[in-house]
Amino acid sequence: MFKKSLSTRIFISMMALVLGASVLIAGVTILRYKEEAESLHSDKLVRKENAIRANIDYILRTTYYTVNTDNLRLIFKDKIYEIQDIHDTELNIFDTDGTLLKSSMPKFFLDSTERRIPEKELRLIKNSSNKKYIKTFTEDDQKHHSSYTFILDKYFKPIGILNLPYIKDDGFLNRKLNEFLLILAQVYALMLIAAIGLAYFQSNYITRSLKSISTKINKTRIGQTNPKIDEKKLSTEIKPLVNAYNTMIDELEESAQKLAKSEREEAWRMMAKQVAHEIKNPLTPMRLNVQNFERRFNSQDPEAKEKLKVFSEGMIQQIDTLSAIANAFSDFANMPAQKNDSINITEIITLTIDIFNANYIQFEHSKEAVFLKFDKTQLIRILTNLLKNAIQATDHLESPEIKVALTESKQDVIIKIADNGHGIKEENQNRIFEPKFTTKSSGMGLGLGMVKNIIEKYHGDIKLTSQEEKGSLFEIKIPKKQKS
C-alpha cells in the first residue's frame, strides 16, 4: 500500500478542513433557508387567514340575512368576490358537513374532489383543539398549504367552514438563496486558493527540517565520521529530535570502537574454532585408518607392500590437508587458497573412501577418470565432512548403507552421497548449512557451512534431500567450465 509523506498528509488535511467547512456552511445555510421559508409561508397564511376571518365577521354582523348555515350562500353571493379582490386570494365556504356552498373560483375550475371536504379531513377539522386544520400537499411541482377553519355566528356556534387554498411561491427566496450561494462559492474559492498556497508552504516548512534529519540519518554509517546537525536555526519542536540524533552519533562512535574491538576478538575465536574443526576432520579418519591398518596388516601377505602404499598415500593426503590448514592459520588468512588443478575426481573419491575403510560405503561410477579443475585438498575436505556425517548418521544401524555416486552432464560433474541414517528434521533442513548450526550434541556446526562455501566459490551448488528415519541425500553440482 502507498504511504503518503508527512507534507502530503498536512496538505491534504488543510484542504479537507477548508472544503469540509465550505460544505458544512453551505449545508447549514440551505437548511436554515428552508426553515425560514417554511416559517415565512406559515406566518403569511396565518396573517391572511386572520384578515379574511375579520372581514367575514364584519359581513356577518352587518348582513340583513339571518346568520345560519342555510343563508351563507346568499350572504356571500357577491361578498366572496369582494373578499377575493381585497385580499388577493381564492377562498371556499363549506357547510359544517363539508359540502361546498360558495367559491370565489369559477365553477368550471372546480372538480368533484374540490366540491366536498373528504371525510378524513373533516374529522380532523372537527376533532382539532382549535377547530383548525392545515393540509399540505404537492401538485404540479408546487407546494400547497390549504387551511380549514370554522365560521362562527355571534354565539360562537359553527355555521360553516372557511377554506383558503394557498400556493407557496418560492421564486423570490430561491433567487436570493442562489445569489447568496454564488457569493459564498466565490469567497470560498478565494479562500481555497489561499489555503492551497498556505498549506503548501507550511507543510514544506514543517517537513524541511525532518527531511534534513532524514538525509543525515541515511548517510550515517558505522566506522566513519558522522557530522552532527546544527540546532541553532531549528524550531523548538524539532530540537529534541536533533539533540537525540546528535547524542546517538556520540554513542554510535563509542559503540563502533567497542564493536571493532569485539569483532577482532570474535574473528580470532572463529578462526581458532574453524581451524580446530578442520584439523579434527582429517584426524578422525587417520586414527581409524591407523588402528584398522595395525589390526589387519600382515607382513607375510603377498600384497602387503601394495596395501602399505595405499595406506601411506591416504595418510599423506590427510597430512597435506593439515599442513595447508596450519599454513593458512599461521599467515592469519582464509582457509587454503582456491586452486584450479586438473584432478581425477574418481581417484580422489576412491582414496577418500579408503581412508574410512568401511565396507558399507559403496562407490558407483561409470568412468575411471573424470577430470575437473578443482582444488584437490578442498575436495578431500568436502568428501571427508560429508562421509563422516553419513557414518555418524548410520552408526546406530545394524545394516548401514552409504552410497557415493559420480555422474556427468554436459555442463556439470555431479556427486551424490546418500545414507539410510536417522535423517534431518524438516524444520532444520533450511538451516543445515548455516555456520554454527548443528543438530549434534558435540561439534561446532562449521563443517557443512565450510562445504557450501567451498562449492559456491567454484560456482557450484549443494542440495539436501532428507526424511526422518529414512536417510539423507547430498547432491553436489560443480560446473566443468569455471567462470573467470
Give me the CATH number covering residue 375.
3.30.565.10
Interhelix angle 239-296/345-356, nearest 10 degrees = 70
CATH (domain of 26): 3.30.450.20
Return the pLDDT at 371.
92
Provide CB contacts within 8 A for 72, sequence distance 6+.
93, 95, 101, 102, 151, 159, 160
**Whole-prediction pTM:** 0.38
Q: Is 192 inside a domain boundary?
A: no
Q: Is 226 inside a domain boundary?
A: no
Kindly provide the residue ranges of all beta strands, DSSP E only, lying in 225-313, ordered along the sequence: none
Q: Biggest alpha carbon distance in the chain?
A: 169
Cα dihedral 125, 127, 129, 135 in deg (nearest 10): -30
Q: Is 60 inside a domain boundary?
A: yes
Kindly provide the residue ranges of all beta strands, DSSP E only, lying in 304-440, ordered along the sequence: 341-344, 361-365, 371-374, 402-408, 412-419
* Segments of the chain with pLDDT less than 50: 1-2, 331-335, 441-445
Return the pLDDT at 377.
86
Looking at the structure, tell me whether residues 273 and 144 fall in a common domain: no
Return the pLDDT at 28.
81
User: 404, 356 in Cβ contact below 8 A?
Assistant: no
Looking at the structure, tell me whether residues 158 and 300 fall in a common domain: no
Report d(CA 393, CA 105) in Å as an integer: 114
Return the pLDDT at 361.
92
Q: Is 347 inside a domain boundary?
A: yes
Residue at a domain's end among 148, 174, 200: 174
Helix (H, G, I), strand (E, B) or coil at 347: helix
Report d(CA 124, CA 115) in Å as an integer: 18
Domain limits for position 346: 269-479
Return the pLDDT at 482.
75
Residue at a domain's end among 135, 153, 174: 174
Residue at a domain's end among 126, 146, 174: 174
Return the pLDDT at 172.
60
Looking at the structure, tell me whether residues 282 and 161 fall in a common domain: no
Return the pLDDT at 235.
63
Q: Is 233 inside a domain boundary?
A: no
Return the pLDDT at 441.
47
Report d(CA 416, CA 406) in Å as an integer: 7
Q: Is 27 inside a domain boundary?
A: yes
Task: Match 396565518 to its residue by C-alpha cell.
Answer: 46
Looking at the structure, tell me whether residues 310 and 414 fall in a common domain: yes
Return the pLDDT at 325.
65
Number of domain units in the chain = 2
Burial (0-12, 13-18, 19+ Cβ within 10 Å), 154: exposed
DSSP string, 431-476: TTTSTT--SSSSS-S-HHHHHHHHHHHTT-EEEEEEETTTEEEEEE
Element of type H or E holding 92: strand 92-94
Return the pLDDT at 332.
39
Return the pLDDT at 444.
43
Q: Is 231 inside a domain boundary?
A: no
Sheet containing 402-408: which strands, arranged edge to edge? 361-365, 402-408, 412-419, 471-479, 461-467
Kindly provide the residue ranges of all beta strands, DSSP E only, lying in 104-223, ordered along the sequence: 132-139, 142-152, 158-167
Q: Is 312 inside a domain boundary?
A: yes
Looking at the structure, tell me whether residues 340 and 469 fall in a common domain: yes
